[in-house]
Amino acid sequence: MTRLRTVRASGGQTTLSDGPTRDRWTLNARYLRSLDADNLLRPYRAEAGLWSYSGSWGTTIGTVAPDGPQTWHWGWESITSDLRGHILGHWLSAAARVGQYDGEIAARAAAIVGELAACQRANGGQWAGSIPPAYLDRLAEGGEVWAPQYVVHKTFMGLLDQYRIAGNEQALDVASAFAGWFHEWSGKLSRDQLDDVLDRETGGMLEVWADLLAFTGDQVAADLIDRYDRRRFFDPLLAGDDVLTNKHANTQIAEILGAARAWEVTGERRWRDLVEAFWDSAVETRGTYCTGGSSCGEVWQPPGEQSARLHAVQEHCLVYNLMRLADFLFRWTGDDRYADYWERNLVNGIRSQQHPDTGMPAYFLPLAAGSRKQWGRPTEDFWCCHGTLLQAHAGVDETAVYVDDAGISICQYLETTTSWAELFGGRVEVAITADAEQGVVLGQRQTFQGAAGIQELSRRLPRRRPDQRVYVVEVRCEQPSAFEVRLRIPRWAAGPPVVEVDGQAAPAEVHDSWIVMSREWSGHRIRLTVPSSLSTVPLPDRPELMAMLDGPVVLAGLTEQETMLSGDPAEPTSFLTPDQDRHHSWWRTGTYRTFGQTTGLRFVPLAEIRDEPYTVYFPVRPG
């Protein structure tokens, strides 16, 4: 396979351009802005003794406090919930990213960090959590409490992302002092007690300690990495045992993300071996649904067994965290399969589990006959998936472009512009767009360019919907610079792609799944045309049940019941034909209807389903 030498994140400043990705990002940013600081901070202030509520103002009869329960956050954020305060960590993490483009969000996040510091001082200088430290003692004593370390991890995560991305030094100070509490607490426990504690959901605490070690070099963090080494899970995983089936999926992936970060920080090979063993067990051996996702309910499905577990598939948090793990592996190896996995889950997971109008999350994504998505509410639920929703869309632009010592890799064809002040001898800018006139684009909407395309007679449009996706990559250099530009060939490509530079066929080499062009660049326009087609993906344990895909896009049939289709299972064009393929000034993708069937059905992209019933896997009878 092609190895992208010393692959690392782009290191540039990336912005989203107009297009479907930015539309989803904007929905998410709107929700982020709607959550006010006082509600987010309430459990932290209450724990620090800095907030109380009596229901009225003073002793005046009949007066009611203006910030009463009707304005509070509820669900998992209820002031009586064991998980109260978790959403603030997600919010800070997302705000660190959105705040790069939104000064008001950046200022609010900085103020919240200051308030957390005040809570920490009121708590004696170490504890900065939204729940009592006694919850951790109860856990160590074998008592019942709902995932206190999961909650605390979110606070750490938000603080560390505020430091890493927003450069907030106070956030690192708060996190470092908070880590001191955990160092003292865990130092009092025996190894057996620690192992018992680690058998209860810890969230991403191992990743926190690895981050802190990277940021501070503090021995406290190094000690905590050693203490949070969950050998009861890690050792049998390395031995090749199946330690995943029917276990809480998002508990384990969070721990493996910690192993991934520990490998990057310490260089200890065992950590990387754990990540690779986990990926093999969780994804390669176990298999994924047609969406690219995993899990049923909140647990891992058995390897190769999916048909009995289609009703509550792929918890949103698991989708997001496995995409993060795929990104780690891609950065380490340059293997395109991880980028392909990331794309499949973005299109059919992250976007399918965000309501296209309200921006709210779906905890699960059912794929069975007659499914309906169940959407969360803005302030009444606050599931874990509300939090990963905020993060997933806020950071979606971070995986489009990577650089190494030899060149630039275009990994995800998202509408972005990435610029570097100094790269290969000068300022470089790379802009990625999709051509909605000559190709299909998921989630496309009206644009001025599209409106012009249907009015200017000189613009030649395809007669019918083209079975292709067309991407344009503009490479702009302050001064001519020689380096490689690499374009990922998606694994869903239905044939060899065509690449042009400035309207001319371009000399290029193909290495595995990468088109590699090495030349001197200044201001050049690359055009990549990738043919796509309909395909089917059978269930591994019931191969007569099939999902239909248009390129990378999973299709949903609009029906409340299992419906038999007749045709060639290997050629879905034998029973599906394009439907409503043109909308004013762009081509619709993924819209089809059946023909030659007893019952006619329409198919649309799973990501565009809102509240209507749908079915993803259909029995297909040859005929």
Structure tokens that stand for 447 in this block: 């644009």
> Can you give the CATH number for the domain in which 365 is found?
1.50.10.20
Locate 39 and state its tokens: 């509600």
Task: For 505, list phi and psi in degrees, rounded to 5.
Answer: -55, 135
Task: Compute the radius of gyration of the chain from its Cα atoms.
Answer: 25
> What burial class does residue 362 get, using C-beta atoms within 10 Å of its C-beta: 0-12 exposed, 13-18 middle, 19+ buried?
buried
CB-based burial label for 217 (10 Å; 0-12, 13-18, 19+): exposed
Amino acid at 341: Y
Q: Quick check: 28 and 389 in contact, CB under 8 A?
A: yes
Per the domain annotation, does 177 fall within a domain? Answer: yes
Give the whole-angstrom CA distance, residue 29 versus residue 145.
33
Per DSSP bridges, beta strands 514-531 and 534-539 are unpaired
**DSSP per position, 531-582:** E--EEEEEETTEEEEEEEEETTEEEEE--SS---EES-TT-GGGTEEE-S-E
pTM of the model: 0.94
The pLDDT of residue 63 is: 54
Q: Of 396, 413, 442, which closes a domain? A: 396
> Could you tell me if residue 194 is inside a domain?
yes
Same domain, 349 and 433: no
Domain end among 479, 505, 530: 530
pLDDT of residue 459: 67
Stretch (H or E) spanning 182: helix 169-187
Could you tell me where the DSSP H helices lie in 454-502?
A: none
For 89, residues 6+ apart whose C-beta sits below 8 A from its C-beta are 153, 154, 155, 156, 157, 158, 159, 387
Report the pLDDT value the prediction gives residue 6, as an integer from 0 to 100.
39
Residues 285 and 361 in one domain: yes
391/463 same-domain check:
no
Q: Are 430 and 418 in contact (CB under 8 A)?
A: yes
Strand 542-550 and strand 553-557: the pairing is antiparallel
**In this structure, are residues 353 and 365 in contact, taking their beta carbons and an 8 Å threshold?**
yes
Q: Looking at the structure, do residues 84 and 154 belong to the same domain, yes or no? A: yes
Q: Which two tokens stand for residue 87?
A: 């959403």
Distance CA 607, CA 593 (A): 17
Q: Do 191 and 232 touch, CB atoms closer than 8 A?
A: no
Residues 85 and 220 in one domain: yes
User: What distance in Å separates the CA atoms of residue 256 and residue 247, rounded to the nearest whole number?
Assistant: 14
Residue 25 resides in a domain:
no
Structural domain includes residue 82: yes
Of 182, 210, 229, at which residue does a domain stop?
229
* Residues 217, 83 share a domain: yes
**Res 464: pLDDT:** 74
What is the crossing angle of helices 249-266 and 269-279, to 10°?
150
The range of the structural domain enclosing residue 63 comes to 35-229
301 and 357 inside one domain: yes
CA atoms of 350 and 160, how far apart (whole Å): 24
Q: How far lies 174's CA from each of 109, 116, 127, 185, 213, in Å?
A: 14, 8, 9, 17, 15
d(CA 595, CA 333): 45
Domain count across the chain: 4
What pLDDT shows up at residue 2?
40
Asked if residue 378 and residue 414 are part of one domain, the reply reads no
Query: Where do we find the tokens 């890690």?
Result: 234
Is 130 part of any domain? yes
Phi, psi of 82 (to 5 degrees): -65, -20
- Cα-based distances in Å from 73 to 34, 377, 382: 12, 11, 8
Judge whether 236 lies within some domain.
Answer: no
Q: What is d(CA 231, CA 228) in angstroms, rounded to the nearest whole number?
A: 9
Please check whether residue 392 is in contact with residue 414, taking contact to mean a CB–CB distance below 8 angstroms.
no
Element holding 274 (H helix, E strand)? helix 269-279
Residue 8 in domain: no
pLDDT in tens, 88-139: 999 999 999 999 999 999 999 999 999 999 999 999 999 999 999 999 999 9
Q: Residue 240 falls within a domain, yes or no?
A: no
Phi, psi of 504 (to 5 degrees): -120, 145
Same domain, 51 and 188: yes
**In terms of domains, do 301 and 329 share one?**
yes
Same domain, 367 and 442: no
Q: Determine how β-strand 468-488 pairs with β-strand 426-434.
A: antiparallel
In a shared domain, residues 361 and 425 = no
d(CA 200, CA 426): 51
Dig out the tokens for 231 from the structure: 């050998």
List the CATH number of the domain containing 453. 2.60.420
Taking 50 as the pLDDT cut, the residues of the chain under it are: 1-7
